[in-house]
A and B are shown apart, each in its own frame.
Chain A
Amino acid sequence: MTATAGASEREQLAYIAAKAADSRVNVELETEGMTLNIGPQHPATHGTLRIIAKLDGEQVISADPVMGYMHRGYEKLTEVRTYPQVTTLINRIDWLGSFANEVPFILAAEKLMEVEAPPRAVWIRTILFEMSRIANNLLGLGDMAAQLGAVTPVFYAFRDREYVLNQVEAVTGGRFHPNFDRIGGLKDDIPAGWIASTKDSMVKMRAAADELETLVFGNEIFTTRTRGIGIIPADIALEYGMSGSNLRGSGVDWDLRRDSPSGLAYDQADWKVWTHPDGDSYARAWVRLQEMREGTYIVDQLLDSLPSGPVMAKVPRIIKVPEGEAWVETENPLGAMGYYIVSKGDLVPFRVKIRSASFNNIAIVPWVLKGVYVPDIISILASLYFILGDIDR
C-alpha cells in the first residue's frame, strides 16, 4: 500500500502509523549478527570444507570458505616423482573421475616429448574419460538430491554408478584409481567382450538418466529449491574462471571437448554441447544431467568406430622429458583441468602447476552466497558440485 497523492489525509495518517508500527516491530526484533559455521565435516561436501557464514536473521551477509583440510601438496610432490609416477598422485585429485585426471597430464608430457599415442589408445582414453564423467555426474546429481532432502536418488545413483565403475575396473583393474594412462598410450588393451558389456552399461546409464530426470527434476520440491536460486551471470562466471557444467549452466557455450580437442577423439563422434540460459542451481544440475546422457552416446559411437592396432607408442623405458614448457587443459567431469609442466630435461618435472576445476568453481562461493537464505547455501553448494580433492590438491 502506498500513500498516493490523491489519498485523503486520514488514509495518509493511517499509512504513516502502519509504517511506524512496522519499524517499531523491526527494532524490537532486530537480531544480532550471527556466525554460522558449516563444516568442516558436512554431508554437503565431498571432503572437508568449512564455510564461515555471517548471518543477519536468515540471510547470509558474507561467506568465507576455509580450505586446506585436504591439502596434500601435490604440486611439490610432483617435483620428486618421475613422470610415470605422477599419475598415481593426480588420480586422487578428483577422486570420482580419476581417469580423467591423468589424461591432461599425460597429454602435456606427450606434447613435450613429441610422442603421439596410437589411435586405439586415443579412442580408449576418450571412452574412459567419458565414463569418468558419467559416473561422476550421476553421483553428483544423486548427492544433490540427497542434500535437498530426497533420500532415494542417491541410492539409485550409487547403485547405477557401479555399472560404469565395473566396466572401468574390467579394463584398468581399479574402480577409483585406475592409474592406466601412460605416456605414449595405455597400459593395456581392453579385455574380450568389453565393448558389448560397455554398451549394455551405457543403456543402463541412459535409463538411470531418465529415471533421475523424472525423479529429481520432475520433483516440485527440487524445482522450488533450485529455480532462481544462486544465479550466476555468465560474465561473473567467466571472470571467476568457472568451467564445466557450472559455466554452461550460465549459458556460456564453451566446451574444451569441442573447442580444443587436443589429443582426444571427441571430434570423431557426433554430439552436442548442452547449455542452459538461467544460471541458477537448477540450470547447473540440468546441464550436468544432459552431459551425462550425452556422454553415453559419445561412448557408444566411439566403441563402434574403435580402430585396431597397438595401444602403446614406442617410448623409452626410462622416460626423460625434453626441456620445455607445455600447457594442456581438458574438459574434465568437474570442469576445465589443466597441467602446466616445466621440464628441465630431467626424469622429474621441474614444476607442475595443477589447475583444477573445483578451485575456480568454488572461488565464486563468497560472491554467490551473499544475500541468500541459509537453506539455499546447501542447494547452491550442491549445484556447484565440487570435490575437495579437486580444490585442495
Chain B
Amino acid sequence: MADTDTAEEAPATDSVPKDTAREELLGELQERLGDAIIASHIKPADELWVRVTTEGWAEIAHVLRHAMNFKYFDFVSAIDWMPSPFGREMDSEVDLAVAAAAGETETKEPEPMVQGYTGGDTRFQVFSRVLDVENLRGLIIKADVPESLEVPTWITSYPGAVWHEREVHEMYGISFAGNPDMRNLYLPGDFEGYPMRKDFPLLARRVKPWPGIVDVEGMPGSDDEPDESTSDGEAAE
C-alpha cells in the first residue's frame, strides 16, 4: 500500500530508463528544495508522487515553473482522507445485498484515515500535477492542509490555477492565500457547506437505493421489489 512500490507489469523494454528518469527528477527536486520535500513515491514506468510541506507548496510550483521548464499546468485539486462517517447508514437494502454478495459484513467499521501514497498527517490534502511538455516529464505534487485550512496559492506561478483553486475552495473549504478571487465557481453564492467533504451527505443516497443494479433489483411490479421504507425512515431523522 502506501510507500511500498507495487510491482507493475510494465513493458520490460522501457520500464528501466523511465524509472531512472523519475529518480533523476526526484533527485533534482530534492537538491533544489531540500527539506521542503517530505516524502515521495515512484511507480516504475508510471508516475512520481512528491509530498511537500505546506510552506513548500508555492515554492515547488515556482521552482518547477521557472527553474525546471515545467510549463504545463494540469490541475489543482484536493482530497478529504476522512472515511465517510456514514458507513452503511446511507445504504439501502439493495446495496447491502451487493455487499453481502461480495463477502462483506454489514457492520463494517469505518476504516482508519490513511493518506494514500506519500502519506500525510492531515485530513485534507491538496494535490496537483504539472508537466514538462518538451521532455515529457510529469509529476503529482501533494501537500498537507493545516488546521487553518489555508495553503499558499499557485497563481503566481501558474495563472491557470485560479479556477481550480476556486473550485477547491467551494468544494472543500480550503482557501488559498494570495488568490484574490475566492468566489464560488459552480455553486450559488449563498450555498452552505462544502459538498466534496466526506461528511457532507449525499442526500439522494438516503432516499434512493443504489442506482442501476438491475440484476439485484426486482422488476417493477414484482413482489421482491426493494422496499424503500428503511431508507426513508432514516431520511426523516
Interface residues of chain A, those whose CB is within 8 Å of chain B, are 67-68, 71, 73, 75-77, 79-82, 85, 88, 111, 114, 116, 235-236, 238-242, 252, 254, 259-260, 318, 320, 323-327, 329, 336, 338, 340, 342, 344, 347, 351, 353, 355, 359-360, 363-364, 367, 392
Which of B28-36, B73-81, B224-232 binds A?
B73-81
Q: A81-B211, A327-B47 are in contact. Are A239 and B159 (CB under 8 A)?
A: yes
Q: A71-B186, A326-B47, A340-B129 are in contact. List 7 more A-B contacts (CB 8 A).
A: A67-B186, A80-B90, A81-B211, A238-B72, A239-B73, A320-B102, A364-B160
- Tell me the smallest distance from the CB of B234 to a CB of chain A, in Å: 15
From A76, A260, A318, A323, B196 is in contact (CB under 8 Å) with: A76
CB of B133 within 8 A of CB of A240, answer: no
CB of B77 within 8 A of CB of A241, answer: no
From A88, A240, A259, A318, B136 is in contact (CB under 8 Å) with: A259
CB of B75 within 8 A of CB of A114, answer: no
Interface residues of chain B, those whose CB is within 8 Å of chain A, are 1, 6, 8-9, 46-47, 49, 65, 71-75, 77, 79-80, 83-84, 90, 98-99, 101-102, 111, 114, 116-117, 127, 129, 133, 136, 140, 158-160, 162-163, 171, 184-188, 195-196, 202, 205, 210-212
- Tell me the smallest distance from the CB of B93 to a CB of chain A, in Å: 15
- 3 pairs of A and B residues whose beta carbons are closest in the complex: A240-B160, A68-B186, A71-B186
- Chain A's closest residue to B72 (CB) is A238
- Tell me the smallest distance from the CB of A339 to a CB of chain B, in Å: 11
A232 to B121, alpha carbons, bound, how many Å? 41
CB of B75 within 8 A of CB of A325, answer: no
CB-CB < 8 A to B195: which residues of A? 73, 76
Q: A77-B202, A353-B77 are in contact. Are A67 and B185 (CB under 8 A)?
A: yes
From A85, A252, A324, A363, B163 is in contact (CB under 8 Å) with: A363
CB of A338 within 8 A of CB of B136, answer: no
CB of A347 within 8 A of CB of B212, answer: no
Q: A111-B46, A114-B9 are in contact. Are A238 and B212 (CB under 8 A)?
A: no
A88 to B162, alpha carbons, bound, how many Å? 30
> Is chain A's binding surface mostly helix, strand, loop or mixed?
mixed
CB-CB < 8 A to B49: which residues of A? 325
A344 to B211, alpha carbons, bound, how many Å? 21
From A80, A239, A326, A392, B158 is in contact (CB under 8 Å) with: A239
CB-CB < 8 A to B186: which residues of A? 67-68, 71, 392
CB-CB < 8 A to B136: which residues of A? 259-260
A300 to B186, alpha carbons, bound, how many Å? 41
CB-CB < 8 A to A252: which residues of B? 133
CB of B129 within 8 A of CB of A327, answer: yes
CB of A85 within 8 A of CB of B111, answer: no
Q: A67-B186, A76-B196, A363-B163 are in contact. Are A325 and B116 (CB under 8 A)?
A: yes
CB-CB < 8 A to A340: which residues of B? 77, 127, 129, 140
CB of B133 within 8 A of CB of A342, answer: no
- Chain A's closest residue to B142 (CB) is A325
